[in-house]
Amino acid sequence: MNAETLTRYLIAQRRRFPDATGDFNALVLDVAIACKSIARLLALGRLPGPAQAPERVQGKYLLLFEPLADAENIDVNLPVGSLFSVLRAPEGAFDESHLLQPGHAQLAAGYALYGPTTLLVLTVGNGVAGFTLDRDMGEFMLTHPDLRVPADTREFAINASNRRFWERPVQRYVDECQRGREGPRGKDFGMRWIASLVAEVHRILVRGGVFLDPRDSREPQRAARLRLLEEANPIALLIEQAGGRASTGRRAVLGLQPEAAQQRIGLVFGSRNEVERIERYHAEPGASDSVLPLFAERTLFRAA
């Protein structure tokens, strides 16, 4: 196991910013401490009820922290994780509008995955690194120094039970994958579905693939499931820092201007060539004749 700890890694990364004060590193290490605590509580089966949020402290950074993504998996002992995103805090007293920054403004993003081992995966804008918790030392140790998403893949992940609600470009993509080497793709694909968002991200960072949680017509008042600020943005930064692509299916997630703190979007991420293929299918003439004619994503950025 590599002897470099998370603390040493952050110190080395800080050298890229000679004027840095150390506050950023302290914030990331606080997140790591929180993830260690969650891992311990999960292992003991002693998760407490909802806790009172601490009093806000005005500082240089804004932290969005989702302590238990896919919490419904706990009852059946499936993987769960935490997601986090760090933004620079605008001047003045905190206002919720300060959170409405596009994904490319994130200073850092990452996740913890609680499984047989506890993993912390992080980007501070210079690639993606993975750390494994050494339970004896109580330290996150660098075990995956340069995670990269291969451009091509033979795996895709989607909840196929929602097929009848998908837009036509998504149906077309999945149909072509399922037809295998006899179909237009000329190769066999495997389908994966872990039903754990953080675990899906980790699998793709480790071995590639494409994940689809597209908008659909299942719930007319909520055409998409994943939250832009707390889920899609940190995932998108991690995936793109690792050489992959993250998209709504139509445009890059990191370019979206958030409109509300609880805004939800469709999300497609993973191996770049597959995500770009899905975007092309959405852009082709006639693709807009979909099952969702009333739901258009709103953004200040025009599609290329």
Distance (Å, whole) CA 294 – CA 90: 35
Would you report the helix, strand and coil content of the chain in percent, each value rounded to 5?
A: 35, 20, 45
| Residue 105 main-chain phi, psi, to 5 deg | -85, -5
Q: What is the largest CA-CA distance in the chain?
A: 60
Q: What would the two tokens of residue 83 be?
A: 């997601």
Is the distance from CB of 221 to CB of 232 less than 8 angstroms?
Answer: no
Which H or E run contains 169?
helix 168-178
Contact 272/246 with Cβ under 8 angstroms?
A: no
Pairing of strands 190-192, 139-144: unpaired
**Residue 159, annotated ligand binder?**
yes
Taking alpha carbons only, the member of 113, 99, 153 closest to residue 263 is 99
Amino acid making up residue 247: S
Q: Which of 271, 261, 245 is nearest to 151 (CA)?
A: 271
**What CA–CA distance (Å, rounded) separates 173 from 177?**
6
Sign of CA dihedral 224, 119, 200, 256: positive
Binding positions are 159
Binding positions for substrate are 159
